[in-house]
Every structure is written in structure tokens, then in C-alpha cells.
Amino acid sequence: MKLMFIGADHEVTGSCTYIEACGKRFLVDFGMEQGADRFENARIPCAPSEIDFVLLTHAHIDHSGLLPLLAAGGFKGAIHATAATCNLCEIMLRDSAHIQEFEAEWRSRKGRRKGNQDTDPLYTMNDAETAISKLTAHGYDSAQELSEGISVRFIDAGHLLGSASIEITLTEEGVTKKIVFSGDIGNLNQPLIRDPQYLTEADYVVMESTYGLRNHDKPKGDYIHDLAELIQTTFDRGGSVVIPSFAVGRTQELLYFIRKIKEQGLVKGHDGFKVFVDSPLAIEATEVFNRNKNSCFDEEAMEFVRNNINPLKFDGLVTAVTSDESRAINFDPEPKVIISASGMCEAGRIKHHLKHNLWKRENTILFVGYQAMNTLGRSIVDGAKSVKLFGEEIAVCADIRILAGISGHADRNGLDKWITSFEGVSKVFVNHGDEDSAEGYKEHLRADFGLDAYAPYSGAELDLITGVFTNAEPVRIERKVPVSNNYQRLLTAMDRLSSLVKASKGLNNKDMARLTDTINNLCTKWSD
Ligand SMILES: [Zn+2]
Ligand SMILES: [Zn+2]
């Protein structure tokens, strides 16, 4: 029984942990690294075809985004997740493959003009479809035996529709160990979805620490009144409210808030004002929310459902899908709300809404999520006087606002509440937080709760029977050169070759000799 930390160790993105037990090899999450990528990740210690299955905590790309690459490398097993995560993953992995293909094509076209070589996408739509075909849905709360000695249970983590903490029970030669992966732990009182559920038993806990060092500045709150006031003042001066929003999760929360604003008549003098959702992914995601209401909605949202009210629908809601419909939005002179992706303004239709609206003093641009360094959203929030959009310099004259405190992540108090509900945990491993958060939260767990806590670096290996790290103190390796798509694809091809060789043990001597010759010829050809 062993566990190896692979990704999101002293980093926030690229979640992945490898486990070997009961004769099986499996992963918990296989996410894509996004934004600043400081440390080198260890490679999974076997080929994708040797991984028996994957357990997925939730659909966010930093937890699921490399599953198509795993499929491209020959992974044949199932990907186990809650039903809502399977539904969301389906649309998000397609969206991710589309972005990969689009960006590779764009880079290649740009590169060709400079005489550079083409870039391949990290993975293709085909790879995403293969991964999607492996998704296997489970309900919350009941333990499922996946193979002899391995049983898993998905517990609501209250972070995103379908999100889960995963409790894994492993029994090998009469010894049983229980490991709980927190997944991303949600904030309290998020609209639509339930609060995080608390567990009590585990030998080992692997937990996130995104907000390990701070508490949300505003008590969970009155977004409805803040949002209503902001819409009112903008509309009264003849402007529109443009909201760059993450398509999955945040957009549905906003629809929920706006429905309430309309129901309570909080915006006066603009009856029936229009709200445009201009993001195909956001529209698909909203449908997934509706489809999974019975298994995922909280009491308040279910109350609407029982009264035949769709909490994500209201008069004046317009979902634009085609690019013509999208363009038409800005020719409508009435004050309106436009919700569009991406949340950090880096891509998608939000860019042309900004181009049309950023320079008009009467408008408001409302940010509702974290803006990472070096993104267009961040530079607007930081007070840029003008920004470049589609090659044009656009003045920033609109009112720039932030809806404070809105977050899908538990803050430090929330993390404390989650971890202290356990009794008798032998070790806690802190991951999914940047360097300061992971280290700081680990120290806090030791000092304030007397827990035996660690913040492992990628590559650290743990013997699950003894609870001891089996390799030398894992070191942190600063990443110097970003890994190119083509190199990652080559490494994946190497994994396929290695599993092909291992699987050829039973071939007859003649075939083995032919395969050996083929590989040797290939090596000779490429080492010149
Ligand atoms: Zn997440
Ligand atoms: Zn995450």
C-alpha cells in the first residue's frame, strides 16, 4: 500500500495523487496546471495503460483537465465520480479540447509567418471523447466496492455542483486503512448547492489549503443587495452591467441572485430588464444544474423546485448562442446585464463585450471572481487606464467594481471546521495551496490542533501501512522551462511504448525479435 504525491503540492492547480493497493494502481484527480507553475511535478510512476481507474473529486479543469491526455496514452479503466461531476466533465473536457485545438492552430498560424514549426494541441477532441466515455457515475454517501479490498464513498464537498470529498477504504492482507481526500472544500451558504459535509473517521487526510492563511473579509453575505444597488445605479445613468464570469458555477450563482432581485423588485424603474448569458458553456452548464437538482440542490433551492419554480430562470433572461446573436446584444440600446465568459477576460466572448462597453462612462464592469496575475481581468481591476483588445487600444472609462467576498472555497475557519470534525487521524497532508498557504496551514494544524501535519512536495512517497515517507526528504524543483505540448505528447507516446513492451512478454520469439528490431531501428534513426 503506497501513496505518491504528484500534483498541486505547494501549488494550487494540477491536482493528482497516485495510489497502489490491493494489486491496483489508481489516481485521485488528474488536473491541468494553470497559470503560474512554479515547481516540477514528478511523473506518475507507471504508464497510463497500467492505471486501473481514476477517482475524480470534481469537474474543475485543475482537477480533471489532463484526463484526455491519460486516454491518449492508452488508459483503459473507468473514471469514477458523482453523476453531476460526470455531466459537467463531459461539457468541460470538450470545451478544454476545443481550447487546446484552437490555441495550437492559432500558435501554428502565427509561427508559420515567422518560419517556425507547427504546435500540436496537448490533446484533441477525440482524446476528450475517449476520456468522457470512461466516466462512471456514483451517488453520494453510499460506499461502493470498486475491486477486492478497495471501497470508495463520495461525500458532498459543497464547492461546485457534484463536488465531493472521497473516502477510500483499503484492505490488504487483513490491514485496513482509510484515506480521505478533501477535494476542494466549499464555502458556507453558497446558493443552490449544499454546505460541505463533515467526516469523522480517517487514518490519513489529504486536504486542500487554498485559503489556508486567510478568512474571507466579508461575512457570507448580502450579495443580493450589493448587486441590486449596483444594477440600479448603473441603469439609472443609462449604462449596462457587464460581468466577466466563470461559465460553470459562478454564472449559475449570479442567475440565482438576479432571479431573487427580480422577484423582490429590488431594482426600481427598469421593469423586465434583460439579462444576457453569452457563453455556450455557461448555457450548457446551467442545463446540467437543472438536470442534477434532485441529487445536488440545497434545501432553499429545492423549495423552489417543489413549487415548480426553476431557480435559474426568470423573465428577461436571454441566452445567446450563435455569434450573430452574441453581436446583436450590443446593438440593443436598453440598459441590461451581460454575463459572459471567461471569468478572467482572457478568452471567449467577454472580450468583445468589453470592447463595446469598457470605454463608456455610464457602464459598470463587475468582477465576481479571482483575477490571476498577468490576465486582462487583473490589469483592469488593478486600474489600467486603457487595454488592448483585438489590436485596438480601448480606454477604461466604465466604473470597475468587485463583488467582494464571493468565493467557492472555504476560508481558514471553514478548513478548520472541516478538519477538526475528524477524530484520531494519524497524519494530515496539506496540498492545493500555494507555497505560503500550504506551509502556513500545516504549521497552524500542528501548533493549534496538535495534528501530525505535513505539506509534501511532488514526488513524496508514503507507505500507507506504516505511515512513513519512504523516499529521502522530497525536494522542491523549480521549473525552469515550461514543458511544450509536443514534448508532453512525446512522453505520453513513450508510456504507450513501454506498456506495449511489457504486454509483449507472451509473444512468440519471432514477433518479439521483430518488435525489438523495430524499436532499435527507431532509436538508431532518432539518435543521429
Ligand atoms: Zn475546484
Ligand atoms: Zn481546485
- State the pLDDT at residue 287: 95
What's the rounded Cα separation, in Å, for the pair 404 and 252? Answer: 17
Amino acid in the structure at residue 133 = S
In CATH terms, are 2-215+408-481 and 220-402 the same topology? Answer: no
Distance 61 CA to ligand 2 centre (A): 8
pLDDT in tens, 5-34: 999 999 888 999 999 999 999 999 999 987
- State the pLDDT at residue 220: 53
Distance 335 CA to ligand 2 centre (A): 36
Residues lining ion ligand 1 (Cβ < 5 A) are 60, 184
Sheet holding 135-138, edge to edge: 135-138, 78-82, 53-55, 24-30, 16-21, 2-7, 461-463, 468-469
Q: How far is CA 469 from CA 351, 376, 455, in A?
A: 48, 42, 12
Ligand whose nearest atom lies closest to the CA of 249: 1
To 10 degrees, what angle do helices 125-133 and 83-113 make? 170
Distance 288 CA to ligand 2 centre (A): 20
Helix (H, G, I), strand (E, B) or coil at 54: strand
- Rounded to two decimals, the pTM is 0.90
- State the pLDDT at residue 79: 98
Q: Where are the domains of the chain?
A: 2-215+408-481, 220-402, 492-527
Regions of the chain short of the pLDDT cut 70: 35-37, 218-221, 472-482
Amino acid in the structure at residue 492 = T
Ligand whose nearest atom lies closest to the CA of 407: 1
Ligand whose nearest atom lies closest to the CA of 209: 2
- State the pLDDT at residue 84: 98
Q: How many CB atoms lie within 10 A of CB 118?
A: 12
Distance 225 CA to ligand 2 centre (A): 29
**Could you tell me the CATH superfamily of domain 2-215+408-481?**
Ribonuclease Z/Hydroxyacylglutathione hydrolase-like (3.60.15.10)
Distance 371 CA to ligand 2 centre (A): 15
Cβ-contact 243, 343 below 8 angstroms = no
Task: Choose among 10, 31, 6, 9: nearest CA to 19.
Answer: 6
Q: How far is CA 356 from CA 61, 153, 390, 391, 441, in A?
A: 30, 48, 12, 14, 44
**Which CATH number among 3.30.428.10, 3.20.20.70, 3.40.50.2300, 3.40.50.10890 corresponds to the domain 220-402?**
3.40.50.10890
Cβ-contact 16, 27 below 8 angstroms = yes
Distance 212 CA to ligand 2 centre (A): 13
Ligand whose nearest atom lies closest to the CA of 85: 1
